[in-house]
Amino acid sequence: MEIVLISDGPLPLDSPVRKLPFFFPARLVDMAKVSKRTVGAAQVAVVELLDATDAGLTALKNSWDTIAEIPVFCLVSRKNRREVIQASALGKTEPLERDTPLSLLVRTIKSKVGFDPMATVPRSVPSKTLEAYRKGNAFLESMVLSATDGSNIQINLMNESAKEILAALSLDGIGPWMEAVQSHHSGTYCHSLMVCGIAGLFARHLGWKEADCVEVIAGGLLHDIGKMRIPLTILDKADKLTPEERAIIDKHPQFGREILKPRLEVAIDIKKMAIQHHEFLDGSGYPDGLKASRISPKVRLMTICDIFTALTETRAYKEGLPARVAIDTLKQMGRKLDQDMVDQFARMVLDRGFGEVSRATGPVGGRAAG
Ligand SMILES: [Fe+2]
Ligand SMILES: [Fe+2]
């Protein structure tokens, strides 16, 4: 299942269409390049008319046959007569107000395609892990909506998901979790789900109390919430990032702070994991250059799990490193990380079962910055 997102040039910054790839496997297609080949087997087309040029619209009109068979939504502002006329001149479309809340936009598209992210999970994944994955995924979707429209974080769903993930890890182990997680179409979701699984496993390995294990899993789910503000063209870019793009990605902990600051419903320890997971003990991290005395054990744990995941996951632009090599890298980071914790982490990861799963299934989603 796939949707195509059509716009004239890059998607405008204000367009809600930018967030749709967090919910559906989606492809961006330039208005001038709509064809049988670029539309492929997509089941829905969403056309963003903001900033569309006459040339783009003419090209789209000429290639309309290629999307005429599937539902087409046109994003318009009803106050903008020109856009409304353009939409009706294109062909049969369902106009949607650009200000439509993202949740409604997603629901409207789902009603046309009946998309189920569970459909791509391998059948071998046991039921407990499958259920935990379903909940974790549902929480991440709600988190994107919270980050976009400023609504409350769904704390109950977050806690329930975290508890279920811990229970699934305890019953089924990390292998099935990795298998389920890597079936997700969104690299950012894969990364967050993977980090939370590894963080939960590690907290349990360290003998932390159940409540703390649940909290680091919740922290893992939420840790990259700031990335919801970063254009997907940068987040999912297949090539190496330019220094300017890297600088934008590096703002995500700061964006996380801005999103989470008014969210009084989120526990302070969880906020810290989202805001501080790129801090280093020697003060060389970001966003605040904190030193060891101000970095809590949960944040230290999150940083290690995040870097390990980023190093081992395979993305369009890089192969994942084997677990053993990633561990060596963590060790070489010396005083940036809590090396006592790294030693314990290495013992857990290099345990035969984990190492084999990590290599056999191939690591998953997320950019090396974590
Ligand atoms: Fe991050
Ligand atoms: Fe991360």
Claim to verify: residue 107 and residue 149 sit in the same structural domain: no
Q: Is residue 250 part of a domain?
A: yes
Average pLDDT over residues 184-192: 92
pTM passes above 0.85? yes
Measure the CA–CA gap between 139 and 117, rounded to whole angstroms: 13
Claim to verify: residue 125 and residue 108 sit in the same structural domain: no
- What is the pLDDT at residue 174? 93
> What's the domain count of the chain?
2
* Residue 165, domain CATH: 1.10.3210.10
Query: Where does a domain end: 62, 97, 113?
Result: 113
> Residue 286 Cα, ligand 1 centroid: separation in angstroms?
10
Q: Which of 191, 192, 194 is nearest to 177 (CA)?
A: 194
Claim to verify: residue 256 and residue 239 sit in the same structural domain: yes
Give me 238's structure tokens.
Answer: 């297949």
> Residue 167 Cα, ligand 2 centroid: separation in angstroms?
23
Claim to verify: residue 254 and residue 299 sit in the same structural domain: yes
Burial code of 244-280, b = ≥16 C-beta within 10 A, e = fewer? Answer: ebeebbebbbbbbbebbeebeebeebbbbbbbbbbbb
Q: Which domain holds residue 35?
A: 3-113
Claim to verify: residue 123 and residue 20 sit in the same structural domain: no
> Residue 306 Cα, ligand 2 centroid: separation in angstroms?
5
* Residue 31, domain CATH: 3.40.50.2300
Give me 245's structure tokens.
Answer: 């793009």
Q: Which of 129, 186, 183 is nearest to 161 (CA)?
A: 129
> Residue 71 Cα, ligand 1 centroid: separation in angstroms?
36
Claim to verify: residue 101 and residue 126 sit in the same structural domain: no
Measure the CA–CA gap between 109 and 275, rounded to whole angstroms: 33
Q: Is residue 212 part of a domain?
A: yes
Claim to verify: residue 272 and residue 255 sit in the same structural domain: yes
**AA identity, residue 156:** N
> Residue 32 Cα, ligand 2 centroid: separation in angstroms?
35
Query: Where does a domain end: 54, 79, 113?
Result: 113
Q: Which residues surround ligand 1, an ion (CB under 5 A)?
A: 224, 370
Average pLDDT over residues 215-222: 98
Claim to verify: residue 98 and residue 142 sit in the same structural domain: no
Per residue in 84-105, pLDDT (tens digit) is 899 889 988 888 999 889 999 9
Per residue in 253-266, pLDDT (tens digit) is 999 999 999 999 99
Claim to verify: residue 241 and residue 134 sit in the same structural domain: yes
Measure the CA–CA gap between 349 and 194, rounded to whole angstroms: 14
Q: Is residue 366 part of a domain?
A: no
Query: Where does a domain end: 113, 139, 167?
Result: 113
Claim to verify: residue 10 and residue 109 sit in the same structural domain: yes
